[in-house]
A and B are shown apart, each in its own frame.
Chain A
Amino acid sequence: MIDQGTLWVVIIGLGIGSYFLRFAFLGIVGDRPMPSWLLRHLRYTAVAMLPAMVAPLVVWPAATGGEADLPRMTAAVVTLCVGLATKNVLAAIFSGAATLFGMLFLLGA
């Protein structure tokens, strides 16, 4: 269970922080040029942070008590492959979900 105090600190802090991230350039930098090394690193934030967060959840899922789990692993691989092949977020989500349910059903039945 999430502590009430923590929750509100996170909501407000994240709200202010996210807003500042978006306003920093648009509002403060305006049309002044930015250093290229900074832009170069910013380009890779999403493709680094999101997989970094997902990887442990795929390899050691909480739902199985941290045991590697074939349906979840397969679903992750299918999602990634369909996403790479089709460049379509929804197609990837639906294939991943179908794989997960299919495998859980097959192995659980």
Chain B
Amino acid sequence: MPSTTPKSRTRASAYWKGAADGAPFLLVVAPFATLFGVLATEAGLNILETLVFSAVVFAGAAQFTALQLMQENAPTLIVLASALAVNLRVAMYSASLTPWIGAAPLWQRAIAAYFTVDQSYACSVAQFEKEPQMTVPQRMAYFSGVLSPIVPMWYICTLLGAAVGTQVPDSWALDFALPIAFLAMVAPMLRTAAHVIAACVAIIVSLLTAGVPYSLGLIIAGTCGMMAGAQAEVFFQRRRLQHD
């Protein structure tokens, strides 16, 4: 819509736009952080360990994965490899943010790297594509704006969850909070046939390899799923080209 552009943004207005765009994600971040706090203390971590875990790693899905595997007494290397594999998507976020903010000073990129999470990535890329005339400092201002409501909430709710943690009764069936949370996260990501194929292959292989020692099944299943998705993408692309 040419009537609304070009808007000249200041860094301050970019920051506040980011904060406004990030605020709705509080509804997602708060329950996830609380849940991590609760599950971590139920697994035997104290409040300090739980908080440090959240602050140092700062990646919800990877934290839940590590917690789950440690409870299954998987070897440390497997815990690390699996949790990092779950987190591979942030490498993709980092890669796709690079064309937009790669020209920022190294110290800013070093800080931005720590804060590259689902929410800051999703908002930023959408905004940068919508207003490509934004300067690099304005983009960095927007990026930090998105994070300012989310990050404190992540720490506070982890703490809150850890504080109430062990008082949650068994009848609440919190054992199943993680599967529900992950399924809810995955479902909206299944945008194409290739994504669905990746997920189905991963599920089937993971059930078949459930008996493989050291919880290695997860890595095998995840790798098969990724390869299936990538292959399916190539296949569908070729077919589309042939039809055109």
Contacts and interface: CB of A to CB of B under 8 A. Distances in A.
A12 interface: yes
B95 A39 contact: yes
Given A10-B76, A31-B103, A63-B176, A47 B225 contact: yes
Contact of A45 (B85, B101, B187): B85
Contacts, number: 284
B84 interface: yes
A7 B183 contact: no
A48 B222 contact: yes
B61 to A, nearest CB: 7
Which of A10, A19, A49, A50 has most B Cβ within 10 Å? A49
Contacts of A70: none
A17 B80 CA distance: 8
A96 B102 CA distance: 40
Nearest to A71: B173
Interface stretch (B9-17, B147-155, B161-169, B228-236): B228-236
B98 to A, nearest CB: 5
B182 A50 contact: yes
Contact of A76 (B84, B95, B179): B179
Given A26-B113, A44-B198, A51-B206, A21 B103 contact: no
A80 B110 CA distance: 36
A96 B187 CA distance: 12
A74 to B, nearest CB: 11
Contacts of A40: 230, 233-234
Interface residues of B, number: 94
Contact of B57 (A15, A30, A51): A15
A17 to B, nearest CB: 5
Contact of A52 (B90, B97, B205): B205
B186 A55 contact: no
B185 A26 contact: no
B123 to A, nearest CB: 15
B20 interface: no
B175 A49 contact: no
B179 A57 contact: yes
Given A14-B83, A83-B184, A47 B179 contact: no
B80 A10 contact: yes
A54 B183 contact: yes
B87 interface: yes
A39 B233 CA distance: 12
Interface string A5-35: 0110111111101110111111101110010
Given A14-B66, A72-B173, A96-B183, 8 more contacts: A11-B57, A21-B90, A45-B85, A45-B88, A45-B92, A45-B226, A52-B217, A63-B176
